[in-house]
Structure 1
Amino acid sequence: MPKMSVGFAMVLLILGNIVAVFSDAVIKNLPTGAAVYQFVLFRQLTAVLMLLPFCLFNTKTRLFSHLKWHFVRGHVWLFGAIFMVFSLQALPLATVNAIFYTAPLLMLPLGFLFYKDTLTTPTITVSIAGFVGILVIVQPTQISLAAVSALIVAVTMATNNLLVRKLPQHHTVAQTLFLTNLMGIPFAFSLAIWENQPLDWYPLLTAASSNLFILIYAGICVLVYRTVEAHKISSAEYTGLLGAVIVGIMWFDEVPDLSFVIGSALIILPLVWLATLESVKYKKEIRIK
């Protein structure tokens, strides 16, 4: 695959993050009282149908082999999807996205627990700053079930990212996403049956639209991260929070307050600082080699 410039890669990532925000906005636009588990089931099903052609075209690898960690990751993914709906329906779009951005912070202590990853002074500092940022945004006196739900989503996102290390290497990105969604369908179906709500086709269209936006974002990520080193462009990911603010204002008339700005800064700026440190460290290692 030919190399692309860092500038063009960052532009693509910015566009991808804006597209991803629309996935959240579509979910937030679900009508009050919509059957949540039915929607999550539709989301799993439409994702599988969208990804199936990309899996069928690849006949070089055995799709249904080594499924243990796909099964685990698929149910963590499903658990996160359920709480994502709860949080998006109750909180401003920008607030939810700010909490979602704590996933990279949560990966630091979780990586230590799961894999004994090294915790350095900068990583510990970034984690503490991010935790303070969450408290500033949600404010301890106003912590609600929706805020806890958003934080649970961030934990599932961090866990899913760490579980990637356990997945078999022979599966492509499309196959991995396909299996992640497929593994959760039986449990999602049982939840929808337990919910016992009348069948509603509107959530199906919403689920398909949400998945389309997310798959576009995932495709852009695969394209740019395969051609440009991650440390050079990953900071562009944080523009998604600005996109959430803009979409929240224009679509839902949600104007962020000062606590959101301060809290978001405590989450995002330390991550950018840590990414910069990692970039400098990477360049030094390359020079030594």
Structure 2
Amino acid sequence: MPTTLLGIGYMCLGVLCLALGDALSKWLGQSYAIIQIIFFRTLVSVPLVALIAHFRGGLGTLKTRRPWLHVWRGLFATGSMLCFIFGLTLLPLAEATAIAFAAPLFVTLLSLPLLNERVAPLPLMAALVGFGGVLIVVRPGGESFQWGALSLLGAALCYALLMLSARRYGYREPLWAMVFYVVLVPLLVSATLLPGVWQTPQAIHWLAFAGAGILGVGSMLFITLACRIAPAALVAPFDYTAMVWAVLLGWWFWNEAPDLWVYVGSLVIIASGSLIALHERRVAIKARPTT
């Protein structure tokens, strides 16, 4: 199988794992505090990431000379998890997923002020149009515009800051160190706050907590593999297959049926994000040596 098709397959599989993990978190959020959900997700993720790092180069790959960088990245990840799961508990799964798609748009708009990267007119306009799509989904002044929508925008912003920090420092730090501390810091933060919100899980919920953690690592692993064996700009648009899974899972488990405006806004966001990814791919191809 060509590596590009394999990369697309890995990306779709990673997105499926992510969507299933989000559905489990939404379900658990009806009975447990968000802090407890984050604790169990990261409690499963930390040893799995360490195990993968052990087989992918040894635990020495987790060493870092920039501990405070990883603390900040971990706090961005913690904020993203908190805001996203809170939003999941308030909004339908498909609507929450559509709003979360704003993260790549934030990355584009913040590249200039935070990384001093010049943003070409085409991706800049695409990002602005994409935010128009977000407004169509949340409809300020309407019933959908509530704390859940604002929380999900906060999650997208935190995630964008996480990605921008990876872009700036990723080539200076080992890959698995970048991944490991992003799950370790949320584990430590949630463990500190856990005693105040602890509820002993029922038997079926133990499985759900473990499953959410395993699916989180699976999504990270498959998406990383996809970006390693195929151009990132080629596989990135397949991240939007999450919308398909969100609609199906929301309908199946909660009988959620998104209205027309959610679909319209989602299409605008997806088209904008895909245009940005296509532009990045063209720029990358032009930048390759010709010899």
Please give the TM-score of this superposition, normalised by the length of structure 2: 0.88
- Residue 166 to residue 283, structure 1, CA distance change in 2 (3 Å): closer
Q: Which residue of 1 aligns with 2:79?
A: 79
Secondary structure of the equivalent of 1:254? coil
The equivalent residue for 1:246 is: 248
CA shift in 2, pair 1:62/1:75, >3 Å: closer
How many pairs align?
285
Change (3 A) 1:184 1:7: closer
Percent identical across equivalent pairs? 23
Counterpart Cα distance in 2 of 1:180 and 1:287: 34
Given the superposition, is the C-alpha separation of residues 273 and 168 from structure 1 closer, same or farther in structure 2, using an over 3 Å criterion? closer
Q: Which of 5, 8, 11 is the matching residue for 1:10?
A: 8
Instruction: Check 1:219–1:4 CA distance in 2 against 1; reply closer, same or farther (3 A cut).
Output: farther
Deviation, 1:158, is 0.5
Code of the residue aligned with 2:146 in structure 1: it is: S
Q: Which residue number corresponds to residue 53 of structure 1? A: 51
Query: Which residue identity lines up with residue 200 of structure 1 in the other structure?
Result: P
Within 5 A, what are the aligned runs for 1:1-289? 4-30=2-28, 32-57=30-55, 58-61=58-61, 63=63, 65-141=65-141, 142=143, 143-164=145-166, 165-167=168-170, 169-173=172-176, 175-193=177-195, 195-200=196-201, 204-286=206-288
**Deviation of the 1:179 alpha carbon:** 1.7
CA RMSD in angstroms comes to 2.3
Q: TM-score, normalised by structure 1?
A: 0.89
Q: Which amino acid aligns with 2:87?
A: S
**Secondary structure, in 3 states, of the residue corresponding to 2:119?**
coil
Report the Cα distance in structure 2 between the residues aligned to 1:22 and 1:223, rounded to whole angstroms.
19
C-alpha separation in 2, matches of 1:278 and 1:62: 30
Deviation at 1:61, TM superposition (A): 3.7
1:268 counterpart letter in structure 2: I
Q: Deviations over 1:14-55 (max 9, x none)?
A: 222122110100001115342222222222222112223234
Q: 1:10 to 1:186 in 2, by over 3 A?
A: closer
Distance in 2, matches of 1:52 and 1:13, equals: 22
User: 1:40–1:207: 8 Å Cα contact kept in structure 2?
Assistant: no
User: Counterpart of 1:132 in structure 2: which amino acid?
Assistant: G
Unaligned runs of 5+ in 1: none
Q: In the alignment, is the contact (CA less than 8 A) between 1:44 and 1:184 conserved in 2?
A: yes
- Whether contact under 8 Å (2:74, 2:183) holds in the other structure is yes
